[in-house]
Amino acid sequence: IPPERIRNFSIIAHIDHGKSTLADRLLELTGVISKTGKNKQVLDKLKVERERGITVKAQSVSMFYEHKGQRYLMNLIDTPGHVDFSYEVSRSLAACQGTILLVDAAQGIQAQTVANFYLAFGEGLSVIPMLNKVDLPTAEPERAAKQIESAFEIEADRILKISAKTGLGVEQVLPAVIEQTPPPSGSEDKPFKALLFDTWYDTYVGVVCLMAVKDGSIRRGDKIVSSHSGTKYEVMEVGVMHPEQTPTTQLRVGQVGYIVCNMKSIAEAHVGDTFYRDKFPVEALPGFVPAKSMVFAGVFPIDAGEFDRLNESIQKLTLNDSSVSVHKETSAALGQGWRLGFLGTLHMDVFRQRLEEEYDTNILITSPTVPYQIKYRDGTFKFIRTPADFPDANVMNDYVESTMEPFVTSTLIFPEKYLGSMLELCTAHRGELQNHTFIDESRVMLKCRLPMAEIVTDFFDKLKSKSQGFASFDYEEAGYDASDLVKMEVLLNGEAVDALAAVMHKSSVVVAGREIASRLKDVIRRQLFDIIIQTTANGKIVARETVKQLRKNVTAKCYGGDITRKMKLLNKQKEGKKRLKRIGKVDLPHEAFLTIVKRA
């Protein structure tokens, strides 16, 4: 098939607007999968994707389609819908020339619709708008079409109205893609040049590289070179996703397909890398800015003896998700573990779920933090991934010029009647309002700058509850700014408990300090001496609680008489003590401790 009859396209949508369902219908329509009525999100391969109904890993599939008497090769590149994975979205888009912007006709434009539209628009793709779920009684296609017109300047009468569920109008989808998407540019006669945009590890063949061929062609036995590393590889297999890996004799200009070459580990496959034929170097395509970890959390085995097994599971999982960063971490209270970095909180949740399934034992995940930065007076910077890295009070006073935290620009879309509560929510989270506009008579789009730290915990839940589920939210990173940060520490009888330390904005310290002190007071059992719980910020005390000593002697019940009974009781007490975790000089039941450290 010549490049003129190839279309590389994707579907972008807000979560749940029906992207995976539409993909299923298109695969049925082109005979890639049979019409059994049982196909549910065929491209969502991971178990957690199916369970949570989100797409985590982009999948791609090739289909043939007859249009006006000609056979077309249609490459559908699936993209994740969630904001945490916008990095994966943009790299999938780099392999396409067009994209379907799918909008739920009942819900209308949502925050991720806007974010995804701008990603695609920025890549220079043709955007083909479609309204889905027109079968729903609550669908308001005219209204949603108007929103698309006013938000994206796309004529409303150009918008297809379909139902991916019932199949209504789905036969018009591929013709629209063919007519409105340009074929890939590039030349068969030029030397081979391909963009690596996805990679995974396959148990049978090893590292698989998904590539978009920009020029030339490639077949088994050819030698290719990575622009990034200069390493030479021999091509062992080429093929297309149909929907599984299906070998072909070659991959030609304009095609999207996979290449297996003799890469030893997935670390050699740099997403965004350009490959060329050995001895025919080409100018490299612009690569991707690597994904940045924005949310960090500590992961520890509850039973220290399980460290090695957990280590193995983490390694196995990160093999296919290079966006998770891994550093070893040791805590006096929790033992040996890891500091893992994620793209966002959903990414973290998905990883945790996969880890728990894979590993099948309880693990402890500490509450999430964001990467702070310290600027020293000598002009140097330091990243703070864990509270232990934060300078202590003396260093703060003598050497630190400023503390900085990451910010995001967020987009909120909601019905007008929630404007008041949404503004309140943003203000309460240290947000700085940028502007708000109406996308139709009664829907507001609000832009607000927020500290990243404010959205990693319960912001999203609050947003949903304050808007009765009607507000949607998306964000993009917006750099670092100076901010008054302090390290909060928790002391038990004067000794700091490392796992309870946290970095936070000065304004949160009093509330957070009091809360953790009173929660600790509730879980610490009385002992034979008073236990003083203190929380401090930059060395100053912000809250204090006391667990009074146990007055009654354990042997009091013995009336001084029976010595064996007394011994028995004392032994019992000793045994109980064994199960306690010693934190500082204070015995704290391990389970109680866990309930404090665990994320809310």
Binding residues vs ligand GDP (CB under 6 A): 13, 15-21, 41, 53, 55, 81, 132-133, 135-136, 163-165
366 binds, among ligand GDP, Mg ion, none (CB under 5 to 8 A by kind): none
Pick between residue 41 and residue 402 the one whose CB is nearest to Mg ion: 41
Pick between residue 165 and residue 464 the one whose CB is nearest to ligand GDP: 165
385 binds, among Mg ion, ligand GDP, none (CB under 5 to 8 A by kind): none
Q: What tokens appear for 580 in the block?
A: 């306690």
Mask for 557-596, x = binds Mg ion (CB under 5 A): ----------------------------------------
Which among 445, 346, 349 is positioned nearest to 87, based on CA atoms?
A: 346
* Shortest distance in whole angstroms from residue 35 CB to ligand GDP: 16
Helix axes 509-523, 590-597, angle to 10 degrees: 160
16 binds, among ligand GDP, Mg ion, none (CB under 5 to 8 A by kind): ligand GDP
Pick between residue 23 and residue 500 the one whose CB is nearest to ligand GDP: 23
Name the burial class of residue 430, with classes exposed (0-12), middle (13-18) and buried (19+) by CB atoms within 10 angstroms of its CB. Answer: middle
Pick between residue 347 and residue 487 the one whose CB is nearest to ligand GDP: 347
Q: How far is CA 216 from CA 276, 277, 473, in A?
A: 9, 9, 42
* Shortest distance in whole angstroms from residue 55 CB to ligand GDP: 6
165 binds, among Mg ion, ligand GDP, none (CB under 5 to 8 A by kind): ligand GDP
* Shortest distance in whole angstroms from residue 18 CB to ligand GDP: 3
Residues 6+ apart with CB under 8 A from 449: 407, 408, 409, 410, 431, 432, 434, 478
Polymer length in residues for the chain: 600
* Shortest distance in whole angstroms from residue 24 CB to ligand GDP: 8
Which among 497, 506, 172 is positioned nearest to 366, based on CA atoms?
A: 497
Pick between residue 11 and residue 448 the one whose CB is nearest to ligand GDP: 11
Q: What tokens appear for 136 in the block?
A: 């729903």
* Shortest distance in whole angstroms from residue 26 CB to Mg ion: 13
133 binds, among Mg ion, ligand GDP, none (CB under 5 to 8 A by kind): ligand GDP
Number of residues forming the site for Mg ion (CB under 5 A): 2
Give the H/E segment covering residue 542: strand 540-547
400 binds, among ligand GDP, Mg ion, none (CB under 5 to 8 A by kind): none
21 binds, among ligand GDP, Mg ion, none (CB under 5 to 8 A by kind): ligand GDP
Pick between residue 17 and residue 339 the one whose CB is nearest to ligand GDP: 17
Pick between residue 48 and residue 419 the one whose CB is nearest to Mg ion: 48
Pick between residue 58 and residue 269 the one whose CB is nearest to Mg ion: 58
Which residues on neighbouring strands pair with residue 161, listed in sequence order?
131
Q: What tokens appear for 390 in the block?
A: 């934060």
Say if residues 73 and 51 touch (Cβ distance below 8 Å): no
Which among 359, 324, 353, 345 is positioned nearest to 50, based on CA atoms?
A: 353
534 binds, among Mg ion, ligand GDP, none (CB under 5 to 8 A by kind): none
Residue list 4-23, contact with Mg ion (CB under 5 A): 20
Instruction: Tell me if 113 contacts Mg ion by CB under 5 A.
Output: no
* Shortest distance in whole angstroms from residue 66 CB to ligand GDP: 24
Say if residues 312 and 51 touch (Cβ distance below 8 Å): no
Give the H/E segment covering residue 510: helix 509-523
Pick between residue 43 and residue 370 the one whose CB is nearest to Mg ion: 43
Pick between residue 225 and residue 241 the one whose CB is nearest to ligand GDP: 241
CB atoms within 10 A of CB 518: 12
13 binds, among ligand GDP, Mg ion, none (CB under 5 to 8 A by kind): ligand GDP
* Shortest distance in whole angstroms from residue 50 CB to ligand GDP: 9
354 binds, among Mg ion, ligand GDP, none (CB under 5 to 8 A by kind): none
Backbone angles phi, psi at 3, to 5 degrees: -55, -30
Pick between residue 104 and residue 215 the one whose CB is nearest to ligand GDP: 104
d(CA 465, CA 461): 6
* Shortest distance in whole angstroms from residue 135 CB to ligand GDP: 5
Pick between residue 166 and residue 265 the one whose CB is nearest to ligand GDP: 166
Q: How far is CA 379 from CA 77, 269, 416, 434, in A?
A: 45, 35, 46, 31
386 binds, among Mg ion, ligand GDP, none (CB under 5 to 8 A by kind): none
Pick between residue 81 and residue 387 the one whose CB is nearest to ligand GDP: 81
Helix residue ranges per DSSP H, 58-131: 86-93, 111-122
Distance separating the N- and C-terminal Cα atoms of the chain: 55
d(CA 61, CA 565): 75
* Shortest distance in whole angstroms from residue 40 CB to ligand GDP: 8
Could you list the beta-strand ranges (E) of 416-463. 432-440, 443-451
Backbone angles phi, psi at 172, to 5 degrees: -85, -10
Residue list 22-81, contact with Mg ion (CB under 5 A): 55
Could you list the beta-strand ranges (E) of 119-186. 126-132, 160-161
219 binds, among Mg ion, ligand GDP, none (CB under 5 to 8 A by kind): none
* Shortest distance in whole angstroms from residue 34 CB to ligand GDP: 19
Q: How far is CA 463 from CA 16, 142, 428, 471, 488, in A?
A: 18, 27, 12, 7, 27
* Shortest distance in whole angstroms from residue 526 CB to ligand GDP: 51
* Shortest distance in whole angstroms from residue 82 CB to Mg ion: 10
Residues 6+ apart with CB under 8 A from 447: 409, 410, 411, 412, 433, 434, 435, 436
* Shortest distance in whole angstroms from residue 96 CB to ligand GDP: 17
Binding residues vs Mg ion (CB under 5 A): 20, 55
